[in-house]
Amino acid sequence: MQNSQLKSSQRISAVKLTSANLEQSLRSLKTQFCCRLELLSSTKTAAMENGEIPENANEHCPGPNSETAGKSDACQGCPNQEVCATAPKGPDPDLVAIVERMATVKHKILILSGKGGVGKSTFSAQLSFALAAKEFQVGLLDIDICGPSIPKMLGLEGQDIHQSNLGWSPVYVESNLGVMSIGFMLPNPDEAVIWRGPRKNGLIKQFLKDVYWGELDFLVVDAPPGTSDEHISIVQFLQATGIDGAIIVTTPQQVSLIDVRKEVNFCKKVGVPVLGVVENMSGLCQPLMDFRFLRMTETGEHTDVTEKVIEYMREKAPEMVDLIAASEVFDSSGGGAAKMCREMGVPFLGKVPLDPHLCKAAEEGKSCFVDQKCGVSAPALKHIIEKLMTNYWPEEMAVEQ
């Protein structure tokens, strides 16, 4: 009798547990379904605002920007009829404001990458430092909404944006180097930015039309990796103002170059010239005396013998003290970025080695050009920047000289 009651109780508990799980699963499915509906709706609305005809439109759709959108006979029964009828018509008035704001900016450069973690933001920061050191008026715009690292790399963490009657004021590193990033707006630097495409696009548009840069020689735009909403938006918003082109940053291995090819094709499709490709982290290079020397024991532990090795070199082989040691970190047997550039018909700007001192400069928000510490990477970066100036902005070189 007791066993029978126990089994009955267990069955009732199992039913209750199953019922509770089912209710929780249904709630979860409902939430996911609503999120997907919201995503589809926001994506469709954004596309229609850009003048694109939805895939599910009627056969003779007049277009969402037409004065008869949502009102003509061809719109009857279309699932988008209400959205089209109430959507704003004609050209986006914000684009006019962007054109006016960008009229005082001579050159606009996009910094792109196929993958994250290739040093794109480091290159953007050091390019901006270098141009400012040449006495140019420089602006650095960070449109990596979800991963804004530019404030850290410019030494501006904790700074705030101020507003004046002219618009938002950039945060300045020097009097001729201003920076704008969503990183200045976050109440907590660890705060995650969980935004969908339309909201990201809205902030990028606001950066372009509301930030008062003043007279600029160069506006460097640090974009997130890939070819997503941010890239389409920045090209669309700046196209009427003229974009000088894009610099694409990669590492030597094929895993990165596969996505860089997509980035090059993206630029070709949207009509943005590729100014060139930079192969970053092209081998580890640093002075031999900066290395630590270790001896591995039989148990796999490491013993530091750096002092002994350096003392021995100074006594027995002093000519080795000034040597630079180099090692391949990524596999470049496939020809690296140089080969890819030849195949795709785009300029190859050069290689920048993986330099621990450059990494430290980025962590500290400093320029790698101000002292001799970045003795391996700084000359490589300087050579690339000089090549860019000579090939694309010779008139600015003449003014500088």
**Could you report the per-residue pLDDT of 137-156, keeping only the tens digit for each?**
999 999 999 999 999 999 99
Sign of the dihedral through C-alpha 48, 50, 52, 58: positive
181, 126 in Cβ contact below 8 A?
no
pLDDT band per the 50, 70, 90 thresholds, residue 23: low
DSSP 142: E
> Stretch 357-363: mean pLDDT, rounded?
95
**Span of 17-26, 207-216, 220-229, 263-272 with lowest mean pLDDT:** 17-26
Average pLDDT over residues 175-188: 94
Percent of the residues in the chain that have a pLDDT greater than 70, as a whole number: 85
pLDDT value for 10: 47
120 is in an annotated binding site: yes
For residue 365, how many other CB atoms are within 10 A of its CB?
16
The verdict on whether residue 117 carries a ligand-binding annotation is yes
CB-based contacts of 141, cutoff 8 Å, min separation 6: 179, 180, 181, 207, 211, 219, 220, 221, 222
Report whether pLDDT(99) > 90. Answer: yes
How far apart, in whole angstroms, are the C-alpha atoms of residue 84 and residue 61? 10
Exposure pattern of 134-171 as b/e (b: 16+ CB <10 Å)?
bebbbbbbbbbbeebbbbbbbebeebeeeeeeeebbbb
Contact partners, residue 385, CB within 8 Å, separation at least 6: 127, 130, 131
- Mean pLDDT calculated for residue range 163-177: 95
- The CA distance from 48 to 39, in Å, is 14
The Cα 109–Cα 389 span in angstroms is 12
Give the pLDDT band of residue 64 (cuts 50, 70, 90). confident
* CA dist 250 → 66, 271, 279, 399 (Å): 43, 21, 5, 31
Mean pLDDT of 244-271: 96
Residue 3 pLDDT > 70, yes or no?
no
Which of 342, 229, 272, 283 shows the shortest CA–CA distance to 111?
A: 272
Measured on CA atoms in the order 381, 385, 388, 390, is the torsion positive or negative? negative
Q: Is the pLDDT of residue 29 over 80?
A: no
The predicted pLDDT at position 401 comes to: 66
pLDDT for residue 312 is more than 80: yes
| Mean pLDDT on 12-40 | 49
Domain range summary for the chain, segments of one domain joined by +: 94-282+331-397, 285-327
Which amino acid is residue 334, in one-letter code?
Answer: G
Does residue 168 sit in helix, strand or coil? Answer: strand
| Paired tokens of 11 | 């069955």
* Residue 385 · residue 111 · CB < 8 Å: no
118 annotated as ligand-binding? yes
pTM: 0.78
146 is in an annotated binding site: no
94-282+331-397 CATH fold: Rossmann fold (3.40.50)
Phi, psi of 172 (to 5 degrees): -105, 130
Q: Which residue has the tokens 């715009």?
A: 141
What is residue 224's DSSP assignment? P
Q: Is 61 labelled a binding residue?
A: yes
> pLDDT value at position 294?
94
Q: Does residue 376 surpass a pLDDT of 60?
A: yes
Collect all residues with Cβ–Cβ distance below 8 Å to 237 and sequence separation of at least 6: 95, 98, 204, 205, 208
Pick 228 or 245 by higher pLDDT: 245
In angstroms and rounded to an integer, the radius of gyration of the C-alpha atoms of the chain is 28
> What pLDDT is recorded for position 165?
92
How high is the mean pLDDT of the chain? 86
Q: Is residue 78 a known part of a binding site?
A: yes
Place of tokens 């006016």: 100
**106 labelled ligand-binding:** no
- The mean pLDDT value for 281-295 works out to 92
| DSSP at 115 | S
Say if residue 115 carries a ligand binding annotation.
yes
Confidence band for 75, pLDDT divided at 50, 70 and 90:
confident
In which band, very low, low, confident or very high, does the pLDDT at 170 lie, cut at 50, 70 and 90? very high
Q: What is the pLDDT of residue 18?
A: 54
Place of tokens 């320029």: 367
